[in-house]
Chain A
């Protein structure tokens, strides 16, 4: 029912490299949020995009950046990868209205390993 997909499923990179993760939102959803989930922890908010503009950011450095496209797809880019970037990256789409309780629908995530 969620309709949110992410690619790739798994990814292995080395320290210092750059990575792009992709998300396809549920059709009609104008908002996408990205979360990082480290092992044994809950998801941590990275940033949110609303109608292709950044609409809020968590406590992540500028080497984490994103893009949202009109076709309901989005990207999370991470430059200069560090070992601590190893985590499950989740995207969540929602239809932002005036209500703050618009349900966020999560994709299955991309497991990134940095060696």
Chain B
């Protein structure tokens, strides 16, 4: 029962272009969605989040869009830089006491110079 899905295992883009990473979910009770970035030999690092009551959140080069009716969110990186090359995980949480993150399987982004 995979509640958060990232159907693209990998993505390759040219430096300076836009990277779009997608995520789908099945549980309509999710309250927050988060994106984490993971470099090899490091733990995931929080990137950006969005509340379920919003449809867009922007932080510098990173923007997350949420489409609740489609149960879909996406992360846009503009412009993409080689240092953005990493594995990106989409995660979701519900407002219960345990605050457990439910992760997707990740998308490996490669930004080519």
Contact = CB atoms under 8 A, between A and B. Distances in A.
B42 to A, nearest CB: 5
B45 A2 contact: yes
B70 interface: no
Interface residues of A, number: 30
Contacts of A31: 99
Interface stretch (A69-77, A79-87, A96-104): A96-104
A108 B41 contact: yes
A18 interface: no
Nearest to B91: A42
Given A42-B89, A42-B104, A43-B89, A101 B44 contact: no
A66 interface: no
Interface string B75-113: 000000000000001010101111111111110000000
A109 B99 contact: no
Interface of A: 2, 4, 31, 33, 35, 40-45, 48, 55-58, 90, 92, 94, 96, 100-109
